[in-house]
Amino acid sequence: MTELAHGGLAQLSRLLEERQVSALELAELFLARIDRHRSLNAFLDVRPELTLRQARAADARRAKGERGALLGVPIAHKDIFVTRGWASTAGSRMLEGYMSPFDATVVEQLAAAGMVCLGKLNCDEFAMGSSNENSAFGNVLNPWDAAAVPGGSSGGSAAAVAARLAPVATATDTGGSIREPAAFSGVTGVKPTYGRPSRWGMIAFASSLDTAGLLAASAEDCALVFNSMLRFDPRDSTSVQRPDEDFTRSLDMGLRGVRVGVPAQFFTQGLQPDVEAAVRAALEQLRQLGASLVDVELPNSPLGIPVYYVVAPAEASSNLSRFDGVRYGHRARAFDDLNDMIKKSRAEGFGPEPKRRILVGTYVLSHGYYDAYYLKASKVRRLIAEDFQRAFQRCDLIAGPVTSSVAFNFGEKAADPVSMYLADLFTVPGSLAGVPGLSLPCGFGDRGRPVGLQLIANHFDEARLLGVAHRYQVATDWHRRIPAGF
Amino acid sequence: MSLTLADVRRIAHLARIEITHDQAEATAAQLNDIFAMIERSGRVDTAGVEPMTHPLDGVQRLRQDVVEPPPEREELLRNAPEQQDGLFLVPRVIE
């Protein structure tokens, strides 16, 4: 049964289709693994009776003749997506025990396709963090090395997939929250084009950046799930109206003629030799598979972090103003009046990182500072986005490292917010531009910790992005490695 | 630029987050580190550049102005810290 869990989603899908395994058996298998590895702290809410009910319903649908690549396949959701039945906390005391009256669109779409929910995954509070140390419910451990952070903010999603406690997990990426934990935990993580997956029912952090995506064992697995997930949603005002696509259509493409851009700016700024060696080897492998490597420039990308830490906190301060202790969320026990109740409830409910970002955002939007910070950052954001468009005139994809080092240790950056922010140096530019990007395992570095290769495509070019990643994964086996003990 | 303790208290008030004196001191130091990092982008020449507020430069799509069934009142109230007779309760604001 362990082999079944290790195999990945595409294989489970085939076995379900051939009736060699039932949805119920798979649900029981993964629930048992989740229970056995509780010490990872990857899950915040598991309710076996709800999971088994969904599994039985999937089996009943198949018994009636329904087919579908995802029918009966288990999935776990990052606790940023609201769910009926399972608590939705965003990793925050503010929302401890919150029971959503509805499902997020992404959750609803995948349930409609027959996916079985295994539970809710731990994450940094309100998706703010790069190490998972900002979760109010304790950090997730990295299955490869318990001293290493799993990455963040989707640390629970990454660790759960790395340990094969779930074949696939939803996640969200605002500045790197899918790609960075994918790299640190040695799994495949894909952030689609901004606006392509629905944000409805995703607890909001920074609305011009927040993008739902997936972590799984392979690019092929992600492509299969995207077919049911990247669809127009009338309930999300920034959802992009485009015809549905088959994201698996380019999985068999060859790499001949594909131009892979290598940006100089991603190979400086403290890139560690172990990461650089693994990434350069992966680039060479892409070349041997038929791709051509071209030098490109993203000259403004080093400004990504300063721009992001104006734009994202500004949007966060606005989004998180809804938490006032009135309609839902934490309310302080003792207070003098309404204003005092709101101030105390927010002081008690939010952890240090959301508070910091709310304060930064409040300041940059305040009277007299808006032009100097928010407006200025919005202009530099355009320069960063234009760099990508210029680069994509010379190449089809951009490749480079996801992070400058392998996973760091718990406590290493926790006391210094700015050093933590720099963990997202190579992922933030793509987020600001809204382009799709992924991280795939490409080797191991210092202390045997995983290294990720980042591939970035132009808007709406996910199929090719996944196709190139798939060709790499057909030729390599880094993505098949499972951490010891799982 | 350097934020003073008074600045931090003013921002915390605007954000409606209670902050103690000790917290304000620690926060001022961290915010000043963050703003020192942010200042780097302020030196870029952005003359004539349009601000970008949406990655696809999309326009806000409006839905049809039609009545849709609202969510169940009881379900919405279930998460309220205090409620009574179908209403959210807050401390008295009018004497």
* Class for the domain spanning B5-42: mainly alpha
A347 and B19 within 8 Å at the Cβ level: the answer is: yes
pTM passes above 0.90? yes
Q: How far away is chain A from the Cα of B54, in angstroms, using its nearest Cα? A: 6
The ipTM value here is 0.95
Predicted confidence at residue B95, as pLDDT, reads 73
Q: How far away is chain B from the Cα of A11, in angstroms, using its nearest Cα? A: 36
* Residue that has been written with the tokens 């979760």 in this structure: A135
Predicted confidence at residue A335, as pLDDT, reads 96
Sort out which chain A residues have CB atoms less than 8 A from B13's CB and list them.
343
H-run or E-run covering B1: none
B27 and A433 within 8 Å at the Cβ level: the answer is: no
By the 8 A CB rule, do A396 and A436 touch? no
Model confidence pLDDT, tens digit, residues A144-181: 999 999 999 999 999 999 999 999 999 999 999 999 99
Model confidence pLDDT, tens digit, residues A69-96: 999 999 999 999 999 999 999 999 999 9
Predicted confidence at residue A23, as pLDDT, reads 98
* Residue that has been written with the tokens 């492998």 in this structure: A285
Label residue A269 by pLDDT band (50, 70, 90): low
Which of A331, A346, A416 is nearest residue B17 as measured by Cβ atoms? Answer: A346
B18 and A328 within 8 Å at the Cβ level: the answer is: no
Interface mutation target, options B22, B37, B52, B82, chain A, most CBs of A under 10 Å: B52
Using omega within 30 degrees of 0 as the cis cutoff, is the peptide bond preceding A292 cis? no
Report the pLDDT averaged over residues A239-246: 94
Phi and psi at A294, nearest 5°, equal: -125, 145
Q: Is the pLDDT of residue A1 over 90?
A: no
Q: Is the pLDDT of residue A484 over 80?
A: yes
Coil, strand or helix: which one is B9? helix
* Cα–Cα distance for residue pair A398/A186, rounded to 1 Å: 20
B56 and A310 within 8 Å at the Cβ level: the answer is: no
Predicted confidence at residue B70, as pLDDT, reads 83
In sequence order, which residues have a C-beta less than 8 Å from that of residue A253 and are 6 or more positions away?
A464, A467, A468, A471
Pairing of strands A292-296, A259-263: parallel
Q: What residues pair up with A438 in beta bridges, in sequence order? A: A190, A455
Predicted confidence at residue A414, as pLDDT, reads 87
Sort out which chain B residues have CB atoms less than 8 A from A238's CB and list them.
54, 58, 60
Which residues of A are catalytically annotated?
78, 153, 177
Label residue A141 by pLDDT band (50, 70, 90): very high
Q: How far is CA A476 from CA A157, A289, A311, A479, in A?
A: 23, 11, 38, 8
Model confidence pLDDT, tens digit, residues A363-402: 999 988 999 999 999 999 999 999 999 999 999 999 999 9
Report the pLDDT averaged over residues A428-442: 98
Interface mutation target, options B13, B30, B33, B34, chain A, most CBs of A under 10 Å: B34
What chain B residue is nearest to A335 in terms of C-alpha separation? B91
Predicted confidence at residue B43, as pLDDT, reads 83
Q: Is the pLDDT of residue B42 over 90?
A: no
Model confidence pLDDT, tens digit, residues B59-71: 778 888 999 888 8
Q: Is the pLDDT of residue A476 over 90?
A: yes
Domain ranges of chain B: 5-42
A&B contacts, CB < 8 Å: 166
C-alpha neighbours within 13 Å on the C-beta side of residue A349: 31
Q: Is the pLDDT of residue B1 over 70?
A: no
B18 and A344 within 8 Å at the Cβ level: the answer is: yes
SS3 track for chain A: CHHHHHCCHHHHHHHHHCCCCCHHHHHHHHHHHHHHCHHHCCEEECCHHHHHHHHHHHHHHHHCCCCCCCCCCEEEEECCECCCCCCCCCCCHHHCCCCCCCCCHHHHHHHHCCCEEEEEECCCHHHCCCCCCCCCCCCCCECCECCECCCCCCHHHHHHHHCCCCCEEEEEECCCCCHHHHHHHCCEEEECCCCCCCCCCECCCCCCCCEEEEEECCHHHHHHHHHHHCCCCCCCCCCCCCCCCCCCCCCCCCCCCCEEEEEHHHHCCCCCHHHHHHHHHHHHHHHHCCCEEEEECCCCHHHHHHHHHHHHHHHHHHHHHHCCCCCCCCCCCCCCCHHHHHHHHHHHHCCHHHHHHHHHHHHHCCCCCCHHHHHHHHHHHHHHHHHHHHHCCCCCEEEEECCCCCCCECCCCCCCHHHHHHHHCCCHHHHHHCCCEEEEEEEECHHHCEEEEEEEECCCCHHHHHHHHHHHHHHCCHHHCCCCCC
Q: What is the mean pLDDT of chain A?
A: 97
